[in-house]
């Protein structure tokens, strides 16, 4: 009984601390009842959060295509040119531009696609095959059988 009370007190204290970690009290809403959204600091300076400042050596742009093969429907999780986790009809592909900042060019910018399962030609479930292309060149691929971890690639230049 004493342990239960101690555990409950500890949980309550942790919840109180976590809820008290927010920012200062919000400003009261102006007349009319709606509070105006505050722009982020990087947007106040005229920059988008993902772009490099003008004249800083600039960012590199790469055309990225994510592809998942097969037939039927499966879940597809992707990141790097947007991100999502959605049920898709196969074959599926998504293309976009990855804009790397100077720092991302040095440490790398990860793009990935992880397809769900499909029924293979042998009737067994297997991961759907996937491919990643950067600037038209295949940089990662998986047949879904020998490598069932999806596809990922780190763009560095």
Mean pLDDT, residues 63-73 taken together = 96
Alpha carbons 153 and 14: distance in angstroms, whole number: 40
Is residue 112 helix, strand or coil? strand
From the list 65, 118, 62, the residue with the least C-alpha distance to 89 is 118
User: What pLDDT score does 58 carry?
Assistant: 61
Q: Which CATH class is domain 60-155?
A: mainly beta
From the CB of residue 142, how many other CB atoms can be counted at a distance below 10 Å? 23
Average pLDDT, the chain: 74
Alpha carbons 70 and 13: distance in angstroms, whole number: 52
pLDDT band at 148 (very low <50, low <70, confident <90, very high): confident
């Amino acid at each position: 009984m004493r342990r239960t009370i101690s555990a409950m007190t500890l949980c309550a204290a942790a919840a109180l601390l976590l809820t008290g970690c927010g920012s200062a009290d919000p400003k009261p809403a102006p007349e009319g009842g709606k509070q105006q959204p505050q722009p982020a600091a990087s947007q106040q300076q005229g920059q988008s959060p993902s772009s490099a400042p003008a004249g800083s050596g600039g960012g590199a742009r790469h055309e990225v295509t994510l592809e998942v093969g097969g037939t039927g429907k499966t879940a597809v999780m992707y990141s790097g040119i947007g991100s999502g986790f959605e049920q898709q009809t196969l074959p599926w592909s998504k293309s976009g531009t990855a804009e790397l900042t100077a720092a991302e060019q040095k440490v790398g910018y990860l793009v990935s696609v992880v397809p769900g399962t499909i029924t293979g030609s042998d009737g067994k479930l297997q991961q759907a095959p996937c491919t990643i292309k950067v600037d038209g060149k295949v940089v990662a691929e998986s047949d879904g059988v020998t490598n069932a971890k999806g596809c990922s690639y780190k763009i560095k230049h």
